[in-house]
Structure 1
Amino acid sequence: MVSSFLPSSSSIRKKSKKTRIYLDSLPEDLLVEISSCTGASSLSAVRNLRIVSKSFRRICDERYVFYRLSLKEIDYPPWHQNSEIFFERCRKSGNPEALYQKGFINYFRDDLKHEGLEYLAEAAEKGNREAKYVYGLILICLGDKTKQKGFKILSSVIKPLMPTTMEEMVELRYKIKKIRDSVLWPDNPVMERLKTVYVREKCQCDCKTRMLLVRNHGWYRYGDDTDMNISSACEFCLLHHEVELFLR
């Protein structure tokens, strides 16, 4: 019979208990690193890790693990109180994704521009690419002393993507559009004010980049109809193009 080739339930329990003992005997800093690396890749994996042992359950609740948690599997903004509490805990732990989302909501939906910019700036400093993109765009729109800083921040996002293809750029736009569409209604007053104050300076390039961007003006992709390499395009025009796409 097939069952004769399967281990008994008692042997499985013994093996599981032995595995748990081995895990609990690992150094705590190693358990923290395992938990944080797991959390950075998948939130559902952390949920599974919590049931492995008491040590993992305790460590998965530590601030450092919440700081590194990936929030990609959760819709934002949260619609349930438990989800809202969870996001707030991530934010207080300095989680870059939570800071970015909080900043976006504060700035555009709640019209708390000062607080929103602070959260976006903090998330950008921690390396969150979406936060850099949005923070840079806002600074460019506001003009005056912040404009050059905005160009520098947005360039740090776009320039690394220019040498090869724009697939990553398209993916980044999609992520930003997703949160924008989920929290902003048409004719959002904050967005309308940014459109009003935004000024595009004339560029001294040969206009080839501008012509390319006119032909490929969609939010999601540049398109296949191109006679030039993106890596040779005018960076100034590309940066302004991103601003105009976002404000559209």
Structure 2
Amino acid sequence: MDMNSKPTTMAMALMHTTKRKRRKRRSGVPHQYLTNLPRALLEEVLSHVASSSITNLFNAKRACKSMFEASSQRCVLEHAAVLEKFPYINRHNRRSSSSFLQECMESGNREALFCTGMAEYFSTPETTESGLRRLRAAAAKGHAEARYVCGMILLCFAGGEDDDARKEGLGFLEGLRRSDTVRKCRKTVESVMEHLWWVNGDGRGLAGRCWMGKDVRRGSCRCVEKEELKCLSRNPDFLWLRREEQVLEIVESRLCDLCFWDNEVPVFCNKLGPLNVFLL
């Protein structure tokens, strides 16, 4: 046969058939491999899948019965990246999505606790307590954004430096002071609140909040007694700088914890949406 001649119609048909069979065999290999794994190992694999992408977890649930059952286990749902799909769940509020979020929350998923806690705390006064409980539960599991929100809420209510709420709030915020961590927390809070405002319309659900209209009561700063710290929070020029992103890097190492987080409170309040009433 001449190597330069074109393949016949029959030959082309056979080639396409072979390619289709090859593709089908290749696509089936990972699925067969996973289903043959021991159940405990399969659940561990799916836990890693769930933590990286909830979309991939949904795809795995549809693969077969054994994958569906394994994907529904507590150890898998506990690590699901719920925050990835929270805007969809919150906006559409479909029964299946809400049920999935509830299952994740019951499994101790800290992202599910955080999202639900935010939705409840910043919606109506009736759900404030349950929302804060969920935020505290997420914070106890080490969720950085939940720790940030709990700390900011408590500092909003705090009195003097020895106030219990202030001490507890600073406890939640311990270890979060790095500028990249603070930025990430701000961004997450702003993103979640944008979707909550989309659902709640003009934000009337927040109108009855007990802390609306209150001034933030700042603690007394002791770092002014230490010349080497030179706390900038007492500098009048710092007042207009505090909302700038660059200020985190400029003053991060020079502010005491008390001043740093007190000055973060109005920044946090600005992320809550149109009902910003906290002014220092």
TM-score by length of 1: 0.81
Which residue identity is paired with 1:131? A
Match of 2:117 among 97, 103, 113: 103
Structure 1 residue 93 corresponds to structure 2 residue 107? yes
Match of 2:246 among 215, 219, 223: 223
For 2:269 and 2:248, locate their aligned partners in 1 and report how far apart those are by CA, in whole Å: 24
Match of 1:214 among 215, 228, 239: 239
Decide whether the 8 Å contact of 1:78 with 1:84 is kept in 2.
no
Alignment deviations for residues 24-81 of structure 1 (CA, whole Å, 9 cap, x no partner): 2211111101101111011112123334443222211222222111023320624332
Determine the structure 2 residue equivalent to 1:140.
Answer: 155
User: What SS does the corresponding residue of 1:193 show, helix, strand or coil?
Assistant: coil
1:3-152 map, 5 Å? 4=15, 7-74=18-85, 75=87, 77-82=90-95, 83-111=97-125, 112-143=127-158, 144-152=163-171
> Given the superposition, is the C-alpha separation of residues 19 and 98 from structure 1 closer, same or farther in structure 2, using an over 3 Å criterion?
closer
TM-score by length of 2: 0.73
For 1:81 and 1:224, locate their aligned partners in 2 and report how far apart those are by CA, in whole Å: 42
Alignment deviations for residues 221-248 of structure 1 (CA, whole Å, 9 cap, x no partner): 522797x452333221111112122234
Which residue identity is paired with 2:144? R
Determine the structure 2 residue equivalent to 1:247.
Answer: 269
Specify every segment of 5 or more residues in structure 1 that has no aligned partner in the other structure, as ranges.
none
Larger radius of gyration: 2
Specify every segment of 5 or more residues in structure 2 that has no aligned partner in the other structure, as ranges.
1-6, 198-202, 225-229, 271-280
Decide whether the 8 Å contact of 2:47 with 2:76 is kept in 1.
yes
Alignment deviations for residues 65-116 of structure 1 (CA, whole Å, 9 cap, x no partner): 2211102332062433232222222222221111112212222212122212
For 2:29 and 2:184, locate their aligned partners in 1 and report how far apart those are by CA, in whole Å: 44
Alignment deviations for residues 116-145 of structure 1 (CA, whole Å, 9 cap, x no partner): 221111010111111111111122223342
For 2:205 and 2:238, locate their aligned partners in 1 and report how far apart those are by CA, in whole Å: 25
Alignment deviations for residues 191-221 of structure 1 (CA, whole Å, 9 cap, x no partner): 6615516311232333424547434333xx5
Which residue identity is paired with 1:120? L
Alignment deviations for residues 145-197 of structure 1 (CA, whole Å, 9 cap, x no partner): 22201111123322xx1xxxx23322320110222233352793366615516
> Given the superposition, is the C-alpha separation of residues 51 and 230 from structure 1 closer, same or farther in structure 2, using an over 3 Å criterion?
same
Which residue identity is paired with 1:232? R
Between 109-118 and 15-24, report the one with greater CA deviation.
Answer: 15-24
For 1:118 and 1:69, locate their aligned partners in 2 and report how far apart those are by CA, in whole Å: 20
Count of matched residue pairs: 239
Identity of matched residues, %: 24
Structure 1 residue 183 corresponds to structure 2 residue 205? no
Decide whether the 8 Å contact of 2:232 with 2:254 is kept in 1.
no
For 1:18 and 1:175, locate their aligned partners in 2 and report how far apart those are by CA, in whole Å: 38
